[in-house]
Copies of this chain bind each other. A is one copy, B any other.
Amino acid sequence: MRGFYIGRFQPYHNGHHHMVEEIAGEVDELVLGIGSAGDSHTMRNPFTAGERIMMVSKSVDEFDLRTYPVPIEDLERNSVWVSHVQSMSPKFDVAYSNNPLVVQLFREADVEVRSSPMFRREVLEGTELRDRMVQGDDWENLVPDAVVEVIDEVDGIERIRRVADTDANGDDSADPE
| Contact in complex: B174, A102 (CB < 8 Å) | yes
| Contact in complex: B104, A50 (CB < 8 Å) | no
| Contact in complex: A177, B7 (CB < 8 Å) | yes
When C-beta atoms are compared, the residue in chain B nearest to A5 turns out to be B176
A86 to B41, CA, bound (A): 14
Interface string of A109-139 (1 = CB under 8 A from B): 0000000000100110011000000000000
In the complex with contacts A50-B91, A101-B166, A176-B7, A68-B57 CB distance below 8 A? yes
In the complex with contacts A48-B79, A97-B176, A173-B76, A41-B105 CB distance below 8 A? yes
A98 to B174, CA, bound (A): 11
Q: Pick from A20-28, A140-148, A157-165 the stretch touching chain B.
A: A157-165
A102 to B162, CA, bound (A): 9
- In the complex, chain B residues whose CB is within 8 Å of the CB of A71: 70-71, 88
Interface string of A64-78 (1 = CB under 8 A from B): 000011110111111
When C-beta atoms are compared, the residue in chain B nearest to A38 turns out to be B77
| Interchain residue pairs with CB less than 8 A apart (21) | A6-B176, A7-B176, A7-B177, A8-B177, A41-B79, A42-B101, A49-B88, A53-B90, A54-B90, A71-B71, A71-B88, A77-B84, A81-B174, A97-B176, A100-B163, A101-B162, A101-B166, A103-B162, A104-B159, A104-B162, A123-B169
